[in-house]
Amino acid sequence: MKIGFIGDIVGKPGRLIIKRHLKRLREEHFLDLVIANSENASHGFGLTAKNCEELLGYGIDVMTGGNHSFDKKEIFELFETHPVIRPMNYPLSAPGKGIYFADVNGIKVAVLNLMGHYTMPMVDNPFTMISGVVASLKAEGITHIVLDMHAEASSEKNALLHIVGEEVSAILGTHTHIGTDDLQVIGGCCYVTDVGLTGCRDGVIGMDKAVPLKRFLSGLGGHHNIPNECQAIFQMVVFEMNEQGRCIGAEKIKIYDDAPKVVTSAWMD
């Protein structure tokens, strides 16, 4: 089984570069399932119903979230009707769920969404929660488990590898929008600290650079914008799992605008 995971989709440029490339990549890499973090897909903040349908039409099967999951209130209904989840360690009273079960050729794949603590909204402890969740899934016979860890601190994502890496198929880091160069398969788990954004690459973490630079230079903020036209990047991790749910190979795919894809193989332990 082969799965593709796309990093944070940021606004219209991110959606458009997915439109240009994803269906072809699904065929070239024989992808059975595509997961994407979509909490920034609608002008950088949240996900609308229109953009949700758009991304599903481009070939995405499941969408995860993070600290911007609730920015668009229409997301509440999407949680009930579409394959959209939010971090599971939000309070129980929050709308939505943190897990989605996908059927891939008769095999149940659990897609989990978790959020870190550092600089994030108030959520339950992700580290004490995740072990119990994974144990429950394994008790049900579910061995194919993919986890999106949405966190600012690289240490939190790396720690998660040592906590549940031997029990889950993949831990894919999101949130910082900056891809890291540590893709690896260790102990049968695919791990990367951050997949990186899919969207504008010539601004600041996918946004127009004017407001971030103003803030850094003067201390004054403003409304973040995403340009309609920019130099874009598509970033996706592709990994393969065996029948036992262990990862047996992974690679990082990057496409700059419409140039040929750049493929980097994971380090294998």
**CB atoms inside a 10 Å sphere around CB 146:** 27
Can you give the pLDDT at residue 217? 95
Report the DSSP beta bridge partners of residue 212.
none
DSSP state of 169: S
Tell me, rounded to whole angstroms, the distance of Cα 234 from its chain centroid: 13
| Inter-CA distances, 206 with 97, 105, 166, 219, 229, Å | 27, 35, 33, 20, 12
> Is residue 45's pLDDT more than 90?
yes
pTM for the model: 0.97
Structure tokens belonging to residue 185:
């398969």
Percent of the chain's residues with pLDDT above 70? 100
Q: Is residue 104 within 8 Å of residue 33, measured between CB atoms?
A: yes
Mean pLDDT of the chain: 97
179-202: average pLDDT: 98
38-62: average pLDDT: 97
Helix ranges (DSSP H) in 219-258: none
pLDDT-derived band at 228, boundaries 50, 70, 90: confident
| Inter-CA distances, 151 with 195, 255, 266, Å | 12, 24, 21
pLDDT-derived band at 152, boundaries 50, 70, 90: very high
pLDDT-derived band at 222, boundaries 50, 70, 90: confident
**Whole-number Å distance between alpha carbons of 81 and 89:** 21
What is the count of structural domains for the chain? 1
**Whole-number Å distance between alpha carbons of 36 and 4:** 8
Element (H or E) spanning 186, and its range? Answer: strand 184-186
> Is residue 43's pLDDT more than 90?
yes
Can you give the pLDDT at residue 107? 98
List the domain range (segments joined by +) for residue 256: 2-268
The letter for the amino acid at 269 is D
pLDDT tens readout for residues 121-142: 999 999 999 999 999 999 999 9
Which residue's entry shows tokens 């870190």? 116
> Is residue 2's pLDDT more than 90?
yes
**Whole-number Å distance between alpha carbons of 111 and 238:** 15
> Is residue 197's pLDDT more than 90?
yes
pLDDT tens readout for residues 73-117: 999 999 999 999 999 999 999 999 999 999 999 999 999 999 999
Structure tokens belonging to residue 249:
């190979």
Active site residue 82: no
Among 68, 144, 150, 177, which one carries the catalytic annotation? 68
Buried b (16+ CB within 10 A) or exposed e, 166-175: ebbbbbbbbb
Q: Is residue 35 within 8 Å of residue 111, measured between CB atoms?
A: yes
Can you give the pLDDT at residue 229? 86
Q: Is residue 215 within 8 Å of residue 221, measured between CB atoms?
A: yes
> Is residue 162's pLDDT more than 90?
yes
Q: Give me the CATH number covering residue 243.
A: 3.60.21.10
> Is residue 221's pLDDT more than 90?
no
